[in-house]
Amino acid sequence: MKNFFGRLWTEWTIAVSFLREGRSQSIMITVGVAVGVAVIVFITALIQGLQSNLIDRTLGTQAHIRLLSPDEVNQVAPTKEGIIQLVLEDKSAQRLRSINNWQQIVTTLDQLPVLTAVSPVVSGPALVQRGDAIESVALVGIDLERYQQIIPLKEYLQSGQLRIGADDVVIGSELAKDLGVQVGSKLRLDTGQQESTLVNIAGIFELGVRELDARYIYLDLKQAQSLLLLPGGVTVIDLRVTDLFQADQIADQVGRLTSLQAESWIETNAQLMNAISSQSLSTNMIIIFVAVSVAFGIASVMSVSVVQRTREIGILRATGATQTQILRVFLFQGAIFGLIGSAIGSSASYGLVWIFNNFGPGLFYIPVPIELVLLALLLATLTGVLAAAIPARRAAALDPVEAIRHV
């Protein structure tokens, strides 16, 4: 074992000496590897940061899964036996209605380990009036403690307090601007069902989605039930899951368990998921292209090195070096190129990310996971070894006598 490690050290020393003799070539290919690794790490971190930001912005304003009552369908009168009836019908209008036995459903869902939060919600349309200004809004009645686990409203609060109940509501910033109101102002809510009430604005939030900020009014669950003529009822059950990207499968499972219509965020944001998939595919193609380019660069330099070191290789073979030892000498060179180049490239990528985070547009933050850097180091070193394999085999196969005669 001691002799084996001694031989490895000798081969390593020879590999380093060959690299020093061809210093300019070694520096050029190391810089090439460094640039390739820096591009791979930076682009991967950039795309991951962008995708994470998109998902956070999307899910920051909606539940992972929504449970609703099944759609109502038209009832068609049965026909007599032997008669075929062709019916052209319009889809049944969907009225505002409560989920049956929602309390038992919530209790059951609270016990599922794949769910981290369950929140009953009652929502419906209304008109809000202040003076001569009238706006169409969406009333969202919530149990604040439960709903905070779905959407952290406190983080989006722009002014005032997150206080819901006793005629206190919180409204979106765009709606406040349109109505010309502020914290402490009064609004009249009218559902068009002979139910109206005067409420106090306790807080103003900004979710970052203009449509929601211009329409949403959060109020107490019981007050919304009264206004929408759904005493004791809820129209939606919002869920939060442990694994975002398993939301479709969990929605199917929960839908079968509750016999309700389950919609996952993946289903309702199909375009976003397609965009993320396209970004990932483009990133992988860039990484493969850069990796192949780096591999060809290393292989080219190693091929030239074999030609330039032919005489030295012949002398090593004549003094007792085996083909395997010559092979390892050149494989070590490839590994050195990959390892040093990737280390420099990873450091450069940190610099690029720092510049982007501090002097870029500021739209989102790019993290650089240590796992990504370690993976880049490993893949670059492995690429260096594989790229050096063919030139190394060629060097090991040289005839010692012919190699010594090489000028």
Task: Give the pLDDT of residue 4.
Answer: 64
Tens of pLDDT along the chain (407 residues) come to 556 666 777 777 777 776 777 777 778 888 888 888 888 888 888 888 888 888 777 777 889 999 998 754 445 556 556 666 555 555 544 445 778 889 999 999 999 999 999 999 999 999 998 888 888 999 999 999 999 999 999 999 999 999 998 889 999 999 999 999 999 999 999 887 667 789 999 999 998 888 899 999 999 999 998 888 888 889 999 999 998 889 999 999 999 999 899 999 888 888 878 888 887 888 888 888 888 887 887 777 777 777 777 777 777 777 777 778 877 887 888 888 888 888 999 899 989 888 888 887 777 788 888 888 888 888 888 888 888 787 777 777 777 767 676 54
Sign of the CA dihedral running 63, 58, 244, 247: positive
- Which residues have C-beta within 8 Å of that of residue 395, sequence separation ≥ 6? 306, 309, 313, 326, 327, 329, 330
* pLDDT of 167: 87
pLDDT at position 175 is: 93
Q: What per-residue confidence (pLDDT) applies to 69? A: 84
**384 in Cβ contact with 335 (< 8 Å):** yes
Instruction: Read off the tokens for 390.
Output: 């063919």
pLDDT at 94: 44
Q: What is the pTM of this model?
A: 0.70
Look at residue 217 and give its three-state secondary structure. Answer: strand
Nearest to 163 by CA among 132, 142, 189: 142
Query: What local confidence, expressed as pLDDT, does residue 253 receive?
Result: 93
Integer Cα distance of 176 and 96 in angstroms = 26
pLDDT of residue 95: 46
Kindly state the tokens that stand for 157: 């609060």
